[in-house]
Amino acid sequence: MISKELQENLKNSSWIRKMFVEGAALKKIYGDDNVYDFSLGNPYFEPPAKVVKNLRDLVNSDQLGTHKYMDNAGFPDVRQKIADDTNKDIIEPLTHEHVMMTVGAAGGMNVIMRTILDPGQEVMIIAPYFAEYIFYIKNHNGVPVVVNADPKTFEPDLALLESKITSKTRAIIINTPNNPTGVIYSEEMLKELASIIERKEAEIGHEIFLISDEPYKALIYDGVKAPNIHNYFKNSLIVNSYSKSLGLAGERIGYIAMNSKIEDVQMLMAGFAFANRTLGFVNAPAIWQKVVADSLDDSVDISEYKKRRDVLYNHLTSIGFEMVKPDGAFYLFPKAMIEDDVAFVMEAKKYNLLLVPGSGFGFPGYFRISYCVDMAMIERSLDAFTKLAESYKK
């Protein structure tokens, strides 16, 4: 009934979904309060009050024309507001001509792949990676090429990355702050990556796009700064969304912001708009474009996520788990206490802990904890983590 490729994909795709389903079954047996589900990256907090007010105001106003078809790139005034917002930390400013509104970051990634890829061209991803990238690339006849991160920092292993660039390389996807590690890429690493790309572009004779997927850009702790990617690269594309920063994951609203240094900005934008239309998105949701444009200074309460990170990080490291302390997003990515991460996650289930194995992110030997959950559940779960750790010390 469905294609062989999709049958295969369905079998192998989502560890996260698998654990979520397991969790639902456990809750039936043990009750909601006794199962500790850290599997899903679904934003925990409701959208900020100002976002809700902006939505109400807009719905109650008579803004004629808001609900019609529009430019496939989105409302020009909204795109300009987003460009102005992005310009806060950028050297060469953007205008609305560099911004396209998308159906979330996922929609933006698919639009980019559709626009830039010829069949068989390669797109590099860094493991551990957000597993959907594989499908976004394959959707548009591209070939994913995996490069491992260095587990000491979870930044890309640049020597390995350079060795894998070929004449078929069309793009490199980075994700900072990162899902699943929470790591924010350093300025030094970005500078080095930029010089590798520049060198390789000259060698292979075509541009290599640096795609920076940044839906967690607003979720950063302790005053750490995530560098603006456009300041380091030439052919860079930022993909962002309001799924996490404003808790709007179900509303499907985001954008692509291209570097103003790109040689043919108009051609690229025409390609994006065409792809947006013909992939069937047509344009990003009209009302949500207007709402987010008036909520750009807002965000969910980041200090609440930080509290959750601190409680879990402090407890887990105190009982022997090793991990890089994350500065952003809402994930921890500790080392499993045995080599087989899937077996480890299955063992954790015996303590009613639902975790996702690193294998689901192309990086075995580790596991992901998603802490966008109720604080009380985190506190109740600490004992279970201690028992799990102790079971490996006997």
Ligand X SMILES: Cc1ncc(COP(=O)(O)O)c(C=O)c1O
Binding positions for ligand X, rule: CB under 6 A: 41, 104-106, 130, 175, 179, 213, 215, 241, 243, 249, 254
- Smallest gap from Cβ 390 to ligand X, in A, equals 32
Sheet holding 367-370, edge to edge: 331-332, 367-370, 356-357
Contact status, residue 95 vs residue 258, Cβ threshold 8 Å: no
**Which amino acid makes up residue 364?**
P
Q: Tell which residue, 236, 295, 296, has the closest CA to residue 265.
A: 236
Question: Which residue, 42 or 386, is less far from ligand X as judged by CB?
Answer: 42
- The neighbouring-strand residues paired with 255 are 101, 240
CA distance 181 to 305: 15
CB of 363 to ligand X, least distance (A): 14
- Residue 62 burial (C-beta neighbours within 10 Å; 0-12, 13-18, 19+): exposed
> Tokens standing for 185?
């890429």
**CA-to-CA distance for 212 and 178, rounded, in angstroms?**
10
- The terminus-to-terminus CA distance of the chain in angstroms comes to 50
CB of residue 103 vs ligand X: minimum separation in angstroms?
Answer: 8
Residue 105 or 291 having the CB closest to ligand X = 105
Q: Kindly give, in sequence order, each residue whose CB lies less than 8 Å from that of residue 243, ignoring residues fewer than 6 positions away.
A: 43, 104, 105, 215, 249, 253, 254
CB of 254 to ligand X, least distance (A): 5
The minimum distance between CB 201 and ligand X, in angstroms, equals 25
Question: Which ranges of the chain would DSSP assign to H, the alpha helix?
Answer: 4-12, 15-30, 49-60, 76-86, 104-116, 132-139, 158-164, 187-204, 265-278, 286-293, 302-318, 341-349, 375-391
Q: How far is the CB of 130 from ligand X (least distance, A)?
A: 4
Question: Strand 99-102 and strand 254-258: pairing?
Answer: antiparallel
Encoded tokens for 26:
């456990």
Q: Which residue has the tokens 């159906």?
A: 103
Could you tell me the smallest distance in angstroms from the CB atom of residue 391 to ligand X? 31
> Smallest distance from the beta carbon of 373 to ligand X, in angstroms?
15
Provide the 10 A C-beta neighbour count for residue 173: 24
Query: How far apart are CB 1 and ligand X at their closest, in Å?
Result: 27
Number of H-type helices and E-type strands within the chain: 13, 13
